[in-house]
Structure 1
Amino acid sequence: MAAQLDDPGVVIGEDGLARPVWASVDPLLRAYYDTEWGMPVTDEQGVFERVSLEGFQAGLSWATILRKRPAFRDAFHGFDPDRIAAYDDSDVERLLADTGIVRNRQKILAAIQNARATIRLRDDMGLSTLIWSFQPETTPRPRIFEDVPTTSPESLALSKELRRRGFAFVGPTTMFALMEAIGIIDTHLLGSHRRGSSGIWPA
């Protein structure tokens, strides 16, 4: 659906493209929205990184995490699950001293715990296949930001299953945000130029 000039859900940028308010001002958020958010991610390391970052984002703004993402990648060895699973107490202290990341002990320990759980999943279906198995039959069709839900039956079920598998910081709201971010669902506003860009869901 093409955005209308009077569409209350989107802002028309100087480039003539329609975006939601949250992605219309900050250049970093706009670039992320235009190139990454909602595009399919299916490789283990890519999915693990996003699970980790969504966990660190809990209680914070996504803009904060996005600005710190390069530092996170450096500190966590590119979010390589094998490297992180081998972290010991000295690595935890190293991370707690790193001013470039979110220095929260519980979240750091959760990332290590989740790396180990990711490795265990390789003997089954693997992290990516497990998460993508919760793709719903339909996706939201929001016109304004207030139409976008924050949880779904699928995100509730995914959260429960990941917890059963030994993951932490994977609550239903966090998992819904993950599903949005990696293309499992499409919550781009109907008037946005990115609606349907994943190729998974029709515009």
Structure 2
Amino acid sequence: MMATTHALVGVVLAAVTTMVAPELTPVALPAAVAGSVFPDFDLYSGHRRTLHYPTYYSAFALPVVALAVVAPSVPAIALAFFLTGAAVHSVMDIFGGGLELKPWQAASERAVYDHFQGRWVPPKRWIRYDGAPEDLLVAIALASPALVLYDQPVTLFVGAVLAVSAAYTFLRKPLAVLVERLVPALPVGMQTRLPDRFRDASK
């Protein structure tokens, strides 16, 4: 799924504090959004394997969330929302497409690597690929309650993220074609720095 969709998941997760303890929102919101996009920082180094942990994030998040509820503190709340966001992200990617430049072709059976089981989890393709129309619909569904629950500047952030989501959805397939054409023209040294799916698609 799109990184922007994951970011909106973080916004929705933090809405719990907005409804129950609004004074904690300034801590929970950035932590939840950061955690929700954090796994994708492995985009250029073992994507969906280096920083994606569908089992371990969840296992670590449970006791931290319990601690944040029983003995709330800024560090505990921040860590609880960060780990929850990262856990949800890692699991959500299983329901998307495979790890390839053109996931709509459904050629890859690698969605997310589960370090606990020591294997790649195959994609379910409920969301066919990142930037698919249904991915945008999920983003809109996530943004809708956020626009109601939050005030500015959060609503401006949500609106901007939604606009980026729409633009990416429109450009997703043309961008893949552009990458296919550009990668072979790059110096070999630069090609080796690109994600595997970029290099594989250009062969």
Same fold, TM-score > 0.5, yes or no: no
Q: Which has the higher contact order (CA 8 A, sep 6+)?
A: 1
* Structure richer in helix, relative to its length: 2
